[in-house]
A and B are shown apart, each in its own frame.
Chain A
Amino acid sequence: MKTGGQVDLKRTQELFWELITAPEGVRAAIDSLSRRGLVDEPSLNSLFTGDQGLPAVERLDIYANMYFYRLLDCLAEDFPKTLAAVGPARFHNLVTDYLLRHPSEHPSLRYLGQRLPQFIATHPLLEAFPHLADLARLEWARADVFDAPDVQPLSRDVLARLPQDRAGDARFTLIPAFALLRFDHEVVSFWRKLDERAGGHAGTAAASGAAIHGGGSGNAAREAPDPGASPSGEVPEPPSLPAPARRSAAARVWRRDFIVYHCSLDEEEARCLDLVLAGESIGRICQQLAAGRSLVKATARAGRMMQGWLEDGILAEVALNETTR
Chain B
Amino acid sequence: MPLKAVRSSMSPDSAPNRDRSDGRPSFLGHGVGLRRDHFERVLSDPAAVDWFEALSENFMVEGGRPLDVLTRVRERYPVVLHGVSLSIGSTDPLDQAYLARLDALARRFQPAWVSDHLCWTGVGGRNAHDLLPLPYTEAALDHVVERVQRVQERLGRPIALENVSSYVAYRHSALAEWEFLAEVALRSGCGILLDINNIYVSARNHGFDPGAYLEGIPPHKVWQFHLAGHSDKGAYLLDTHDHPVIDPVWELYREAVLRFGPVSTLIEWDDRIPAFERLEQESQRARAIHDEALPRLAGPAAVTAAPAGRPAGLGSHP
A residues lining the B interface (CB < 8 Å)? 3-6, 8-10, 12-14, 16-17, 20-21, 46-50, 53-54, 56, 58-60, 62-63, 66-67, 70-71, 74, 103-110, 146-151, 176-177, 209, 211-214, 216-221, 223, 255, 258
Docked Cα-Cα span, A217 to B117, in Å, equals 15
Q: Looking at chain B, what size class is its interface with the partner chain?
A: 35 or more
Q: A21-B128, A150-B67, A218-B35 are in contact. List 6 more A-B contacts (CB 8 A).
A: A3-B172, A13-B91, A13-B123, A70-B129, A107-B87, A110-B61
Which residues from chain B contact A10 at a C-beta distance below 8 Å?
A: 91, 123
Judging by beta carbons under 8 Å apart, are B129 and A48 in contact? no
Judging by beta carbons under 8 Å apart, are B63 and A218 in contact? no
Q: Which of B115-166 contact A (CB under 8 A)?
A: 117, 120, 122-132, 134-135, 137-140, 143, 164-165
Judging by beta carbons under 8 Å apart, are B67 and A147 in contact? yes
Which residues from chain B contact A150 at a C-beta distance below 8 Å?
A: 62-64, 67-68
With contacts A17-B124, A66-B130, A107-B98 taken as known, whether A212 is within 8 angstroms of B168 at the C-beta atoms is no
Docked Cα-Cα span, A71 to B120, in Å, equals 17
Docked Cα-Cα span, A93 to B122, in Å, equals 23
Judging by beta carbons under 8 Å apart, are A148 and B63 in contact? yes
B residues lining the A interface (CB < 8 Å)? 33, 35-36, 55, 57-58, 60-68, 82, 84-85, 87, 90-91, 95, 98, 117, 120, 122-132, 134-135, 137-140, 143, 164-165, 167-172, 205-206, 228, 231, 235-236, 238-242, 268, 270-271
Which residues from chain B contact A17 at a C-beta distance below 8 Å?
A: 122-124, 126, 128
When the two chains form the complex, which single residue of B55, B85, B122 contacts A216, counting CB atoms closer than 8 Å? B55
- Distance (Å) between the CB of B80 and the closest chain A CB? 13
- Distance (Å) between the CB of B259 and the closest chain A CB? 24
Docked Cα-Cα span, A21 to B57, in Å, equals 22
Judging by beta carbons under 8 Å apart, are A147 and B168 in contact? no
- Distance (Å) between the CB of A104 and the closest chain B CB? 4
Docked Cα-Cα span, A221 to B231, in Å, equals 10
Docked Cα-Cα span, A151 to B138, in Å, equals 51
When the two chains form the complex, which single residue of A67, A147, A218 contacts B268, counting CB atoms closer than 8 Å? A218
**Residue of A whose beta carbon sits closest to that of B142:** A6
Docked Cα-Cα span, A223 to B272, in Å, equals 13
With contacts A14-B123, A16-B132, A216-B55 taken as known, whether A147 is within 8 angstroms of B66 at the C-beta atoms is yes
